Amino acid sequence: MDDLKAEEYHKQHHIWLQEVKIYFEITLTFIYDVVKSQRFKGKKLLEIGSGATVHNIVSASAYFPIIVQSDFARDNRETLKRWLKEDSPLDWSEFLNIPARLEDFRSIDVRQITSNLESRVRRSVKAVVHCDILTDGVLNLEEIPAEAAPPYDLIISILCIEVPCIDFECFVSALKRINKLLRKGGGIIMSSVYNCDKWTVGDKEFPNLKISLKNILTAMDMAGFGNHDLKSYSPIDSAPRITHGGYYCLASEKL
Ligand SMILES: C[S@@+](CC[C@H](N)C(=O)[O-])C[C@H]1O[C@@H](n2cnc3c(N)ncnc32)[C@H](O)[C@@H]1O
């Protein structure tokens, strides 16, 4: 994963946005609806595997004033910290336009809404820390201020948990570690592709656990999650670079 560079991922992500914009609209709308429903109430949110992105937490920042972002790759963490200090080469506004329109669909000036959302995210994120879902504890707690320490009320993890897991047992173990970071009754929002064994950034190839939707749900049950709200969608790529079974969005509760 050290091979994963924030600027290359940013460029690739904008290509995906052009190719499968509907996937980002579906996922960000799902996140928006779950947080707006207040199904998982509280103050503290953790994002696992943020990359160097901010769009997946933007809707939640309206409800959770204390947010920790995390990622395995150093370049992502450093670049994300720069974005939070308004010193980043990366511009995520095209992605932020999606939650911006969900919050305010009347305004003519979407750039102004997006800019307000960027400020809200910068106010809410209290730390960007190293995480490894394959290691007990997952987070480097030394990097987290006391007010933002576990347990969390909600975890968001998008296009991430399948990435480092080599088999079903590994996936269940990662989910169990993540479960321990939540308070009882807290929630997790996940979204990714299923039945997919790899993804690419430019000419670099990265692994992904090939797992069915049924087995994802079984793993969630085994890891102590329940009350699943699952949505699944057929592959929607007009020119698919990778083979996959489709997309899913899942919100589950720590039992
Ligand atoms: C496909 S990217 C997704 C990034 C972002 N969530 C998004 O929606 O674009 C997968 C992310 O998983 C992270 N990752 C890889 N191995 C990990 C691990 N063992 N623990 C936590 N995150 C990991 C990578 O660094 C990368 O940022």
* Residue owning the nearest CA to atom 27 of ligand 1: 51
* Residue owning the nearest CA to atom 16 of ligand 1: 164
pLDDT < 50: residue spans in the chain: none
Residue 198 to residue 163: CA distance in whole angstroms: 8
How many beta carbons lie within 10 A of that of residue 171, not counting itself? 24
Distance 74 CA to ligand 1 centre (A): 11
* Residue owning the nearest CA to atom 8 of ligand 1: 158
Sole residue written with tokens 């511009």: 91
pLDDT score at 245: 92
Q: Using alpha carbons only, give the angle 115, 119, 121 rounded to the nearest 5 degrees.
A: 115
Residues 244, 221 contacting (CB under 8 angstroms): no
* Residue owning the nearest CA to atom 13 of ligand 1: 49
pLDDT score at 239: 60
Type of residue at 207: P
| Secondary-structure percent of the chain, ordered helix, strand, coil, rounded to 5 | 40, 25, 35
Residues 201, 12 contacting (CB under 8 angstroms): yes
* Residue owning the nearest CA to atom 23 of ligand 1: 72
Pocket of ligand 1 (CB under 6 A): 1, 4, 49-51, 53, 56, 71-73, 76, 131-134, 158-160, 163-164
Q: For strand 246-254 and strand 225-233, is the pairing parallel, antiparallel, or unpaired?
A: antiparallel
pLDDT score at 177: 98
pLDDT tens-digit profile of 37-68? 999 999 999 999 999 999 999 999 999 999 99
Distance 239 CA to ligand 1 centre (A): 24
Considering just the CA atoms, what is the radius of gyration of the chain in Å?
17
pLDDT score at 238: 65
pLDDT tens-digit profile of 5-41? 999 999 999 999 998 999 999 999 999 999 999 999 9
Mutate to test the pocket of ligand 1, among 70, 72, 177, 201 (most ligand atoms within 8 A of CB): 72
